[in-house]
Structure 1
């Protein structure tokens, strides 16, 4: 029988060293609501790039994805420290889930007309609900009150500014977005400077890993839908099989590369490392979702529906793959001290991806996609070999000394 949540309990900081701290069913439901917004952003990126409007579409994607990622991240770290799982906590989480669905509904207008009104309203709803959570923590957990109040005040002020930004004309609206994005990211840095909240490192690592899997699942769904549409129009072909195989290899390689290191033991070593890990995932999550959009662009190119050449379509996959590899490599170097050979493997792999995409006009976009999938697997294999041989080599060198 499912456990009935208490009507209300005191919101105290959780033990950051507690054993068996795992993601809750509520957190998983929360993630699924966010995937709806991620899917909308990736779909709009796919259509914009496929129609040849790459620059403007990419800017819109980065702006929308920031709102999605930042709201998800803030809830995740708060829940890791102050999840009481009582009725008020669940109710405020429901409000945040409603906010992300409003944001998702506003994504098409943000891309099509550069109208961020609905998306901003959804974002502010999520953030105001989180302010209420921080204020509750400040009232019921006196030991952490200075930190929690800094969060509540900082987030609250930013929301007032987000609403005001809606009246800024182009290009001041975009400049205001950048300024407010920086202001939002400074709030945790300032709030946790003297005292860190009691977030759990293994719980945080698990939450990020689960969301990575969910975004990868969104890529699978997007590519499957694109292939099914093409099959319905013209039937199966060798080119579609090449795209599908290459996409599957990319997804599998991205999954394994992400999970081949354990980072939870190092997250609480310093605030800088925790911030780097959390913030770096803007590009990790955004890169994964963009790979799905790029693969759909490749499918459009195969069906002669895309308004850009084969090389452009292939680059729409290669570039986000490169971003994913580079950012994740930097994070792993910082947190688990992955050596220079791992960075070298990433650089070589990225160069191969870009060169293959650049030759898509000659190779065909379908074969280039298959080759990029193989190259991602080679990056994975190289990383696994380095991961197992570098410690042994260092041990032998130490013995000789």
Structure 2
């Protein structure tokens, strides 16, 4: 199989592969919107963790061999089909609907299929790399553990089911963490950082979709227009905060790292610490969807009705989680503490009880104003440094 070079970039097939994840993220948002409670949000986060783990496996694999060449192309398409079926089963991830197949079991089986194809292709791609093959063998038990726990969870209900889902996620993430980084390969820093940037972009796109889907059945009105523009401004602020300089700095740090340190940075900063960014964006999407429904008069709501409870926590807490995740990624890559991001995250969480009594539109306005203020502050304070980062030649 053709190897990835340091200068490689993402292939069209990888972007096509990512489209299934757009659908999966939309399904998770819709599932949480149906049950906007603390348990509903927790289950949504667990689902996202499983979906994320499916995706990251292929981000490492396609950093080793070209995804659109030879057996890799067929395997990627097969994994894509399994992932699509997993996404179709998301509405029944925890509660089987009457008739048809066992929804939770279908999801667990599709997850197993995605993982088996991944490991099988990784094994073939390793060829004569003894270190990588040994690491793949150490990786298999956590895969078996995670998928087996999901299969058992599919036959349970309520708290026991949620706890087993948490155990499955812990088995996958914890098991992979415990086997260490020796043996894994990260061939191209550029390709790797680009893949994670693209999946963040896709998640932000999903938050924009949530704004639109939230009002498709409502008559367009000035409140909907205003709320939609505010929602889009929030998504744009998150895009700016990630793509303006952050992704460039992290890619350079990954590029400068060598051997095991590069693998370690890739694993911690991207594989693990990008998950809070993803969960944060999807929680935000849920909050935006609810706000649009409120201001559009859905279910008898009026403009003076406040957004409160789980949807408000999702909207403010989602952005806070994004800020904390971002600060953690920055610290791991360049040992720079983004104090203003951490402060904003803390402020957002502290504000939830305060804005819970405000009309939904006002709580959306406050969130937008705080994010715009952050972007303006950083733009003014770091103007020269920002210009240097964005336009410097890096060799």
TM-score when scaled to structure 2? 0.83
Q: Is residue 2:266 matched to residue 1:282? A: no
Residue in structure 2 matched with residue 333 of structure 1 by the alignment: 331
Give matches, 1:54-203, under 5 Å: 54-83=37-66, 85-113=68-96, 116-139=104-127, 141-142=129-130, 144-152=132-140, 154-156=142-144, 158-167=146-155, 171-203=159-191
For residues 205 and 124 of structure 1, the distance between their equivalents in structure 2, rounded to whole angstroms, comes to 27
Aligned pair 1:305/2:299, yes or no?
Answer: yes
Aligned partner of 1:205 in structure 2 is 193
Say which is worse superposed, 70-79 or 117-126, in terms of deviation: 117-126
Per-residue CA deviation, residues 94-137 of structure 1 (Å, 9 max, x unaligned), is: 11111111111111112555962222122111111112112213
Instruction: Summarize the Cα distance change of 1:310–1:149 in structure 2 as closer, same or farther, 3 Å threshold.
Output: closer
CA distance in 1, matches of 2:133, 2:349: 50
Secondary structure at the aligned position of 1:80 is classed as: coil
CA apart distance, 1:63: 1.8
Structure 1 residues 109 and 389 mapped into 2: Cα distance closer, same or farther (>3 Å)? same
1:285–1:28 distance in 2 versus 1, CA, 3 Å: same
> What's the offset of the Cα at 1:272?
3.9
Deviations 1:145-171 (A, max 9, x none): 322333345434543454344345654
Contact 2:145 2:168 in 1 (8 A): no
Structure whose alpha-carbon radius of gyration is higher: 1
Q: Report how many aligned residue pairs link the two structures.
A: 368
User: What is the distance in 1 between the residues matched to 2:118 and 2:70?
Assistant: 15
Question: Using the alignment, how far apart are the partners of 2:277 and 2:170 within structure 1?
Answer: 18
Aligned partner of 2:390 in structure 1 is none
User: How far is the alpha carbon of 1:81 from its aligned partner?
Assistant: 1.4
1:321 to partner: Cα distance:
0.8
Name the residue aligned to 2:224.
Answer: 240
TM-score by length of 1: 0.82
Whole-angstrom distance in 1 between the partners of 2:61 and 2:180: 12
Aligned twin of 1:225:
213
List alignment gaps of at least 5 residues for structure 2.
98-102, 388-395
**Cα separation, 1, equivalents of 2:230 and 2:126:** 50
Query: Deviation of residue 47 (structure 1)?
Result: 2.4
Picking from 251, 274, 278, the partner of 2:235 is: 251
The residue that corresponds to 2:100 in the other structure is none
* C-alpha RMSD over aligned residues: 2.8
Instruction: State the match for 1:46 in structure 2.
Output: 33
| Distance across 2 between alignment mates of 1:171 and 1:362 | 31
Distance 1:93 1:257 in 2: 31
1:182 Cα deviation (Å)? 2.0
CA contact (8 A) 1:245 1:370 kept: no
**1:264 corresponds to 2:251:** yes
- SS at 2:299 equivalent: coil
| Residue 294, structure 1, aligned to residue 297, structure 2 | no
List per-residue Cα deviations over 1:323-357 (Å, max 9, x = no partner).
11111112112213334xx31x2244235434554
Q: CA deviation at 1:207?
A: 0.4
